[in-house]
Amino acid sequence: MLLLLFLGHIFLRKLNSTGNKWAHLPDIAQWLKEDDSKIGMTLLLLTAFALLIRIAYKFEEEEYKRQSLFQNIAIAVCIYLRHMSNGAVVKIPLYSSSGIYEVQIFWGIIAISLINYGYRVIRKIKHYTYNFMSIMVFFIINMWVRISAMLHQPYNVILLPMQIIVSSIINTVLRENDSLDRGVFLHYWLGNVFYFYQGNSNSLGSVNIAAGYVGLQSYMPFVTAVYLIINTYSAPVLAYFLLIYHWKMILKRIVHTNKCYIAWRLLTTTAYMFFIIFQLNHLFVLSVYLPKLLYEAMYTATMCCSALLMVIVIAVQHALIRFDDVHRCHICGTGLKNGHAFVQYLDNQA
């Protein structure tokens, strides 16, 4: 397993050459973009789809596995047809499209998933309110991976299942020693590693502008900005959500994790701001240093929004527990406000 993981990282490192020292070197993505390499691009994309579908099927609840399987296959078909319209993968005979309708169908499936998960949440919390947190985190990861797969370049989709696999291995090793701090540190760096594997750098030229216009027929500034943020910072946000999911965190651990993430981001951004202040008279301050600061600032803002989302989820869980405490007791089954349910929840948090 470790050997396969090591070989996988070697492959991903060669996928996109990035950085000032290595950007000029040939990489796998450059070879896959050539017309003679469409078969290779297609096989890589199909492999990514197979891994994502298999992972989603494995972690899905038993009663929803078949439903999730059909949805993910439909999404994979939409993504493939979207890339086929751009000529990036092997074309299907007698089929032609601009790729707009496929993206619209994709968002239709996402809307159906939202309704489905809403029904599941309502159904689950009627019986056991503690399921709300795990269901919502799994839903967030599922949606994030699906949208990222749609926005990514076809050769970068493989990064999503590989990151999930690496995260799972890390958590399997660390949970034996209950090393949350190490898990937070490793997932923070895991997000950074796959961020650069995607081809991102400190230059604005590495931003995939095309991702901001996927499925759009007209210029929509807000939608374009959201698409670009999701595509660019897909890996760090996914690493954070995977950490929350695998550790099945309680309130105190989520707060601790959020503090660590935000502290590291603020430390990095603040340090770089001071560095730019000392370099204001530098000849390349606008072309070299400020783009890096923009990257860091957006990275920090994105992670703060992700942490805020988790805080909202846990706050809703608290509210559900309090509401359930008033109307129904988990211990005696009565509707009296006896405090049993909430006391039990607080004991679990401790």
Q: Looking at residue 336, what is its pLDDT?
A: 37
Residue 320: CB atoms within 10 A of its CB come to: 18
Looking at this protein, which amino acid is placed at residue 209?
I
pLDDT at 344 over 60: no
pLDDT at 114 over 50: yes
* CA atoms within 13 Å, Cβ hemisphere of 200: 23
Has residue 277 been placed in a domain?
yes
Structural domain containing residue 98: 1-6+31-332
Q: How far is CA 41 from CA 9, 95, 153, 158, 178, in A?
A: 18, 19, 10, 11, 40
Read off the pLDDT of residues 4-58 as tens digits, 9 standing for 90 and up.
Answer: 778 888 888 888 877 666 666 677 878 887 767 788 889 999 999 999 999 999 9
Has residue 242 been placed in a domain?
yes
Nearest residue to 202 (alpha-carbon basis) of 14, 18, 17, 13: 18
Euclidean distance between CA atoms 312 and 317, whole angstroms: 9
Has residue 339 been placed in a domain?
no
Has residue 37 been placed in a domain?
yes
Of 302 and 130, more confident: 302
Q: What percent of the chain has pLDDT over 90?
A: 33
Has residue 261 been placed in a domain?
yes
Nearest residue to 68 (alpha-carbon basis) of 152, 183, 145, 128: 145
Nearest residue to 208 (alpha-carbon basis) of 228, 237, 235, 192: 228
Per-residue pLDDT band for 149 (boundaries 50, 70, 90) equals very high
Read off the pLDDT of residues 205-259 as tens digits, 9 standing for 90 and up.
Answer: 778 888 889 988 888 899 999 999 999 999 999 999 999 888 766 677 788 888 8
Has residue 279 been placed in a domain?
yes
Has residue 14 been placed in a domain?
no
Q: Counting Cβ atoms within 10 Å, is residue 62 exposed (0-12), middle (13-18) or buried (19+)?
A: exposed
Q: Name residues whose C-beta falls within 8 Å of residue 327's C-beta, 6 or more positions apart in sequence.
A: 335
Task: Note if the pTM is more than 0.85.
Answer: yes
Has residue 216 been placed in a domain?
yes
- CB 240 within 8 Å of CB 191: yes
**What's the number of domains the chain is made of?**
1
Nearest residue to 36 (alpha-carbon basis) of 90, 97, 93: 90
* CA atoms within 13 Å, Cβ hemisphere of 275: 13
Q: Looking at residue 342, what is its pLDDT?
A: 46
Q: Looking at residue 325, what is its pLDDT?
A: 60
Read off the pLDDT of residues 272-318 as tens digits, 9 standing for 90 and up.
Answer: 888 888 877 776 777 677 788 888 889 999 999 999 998 888 888 87
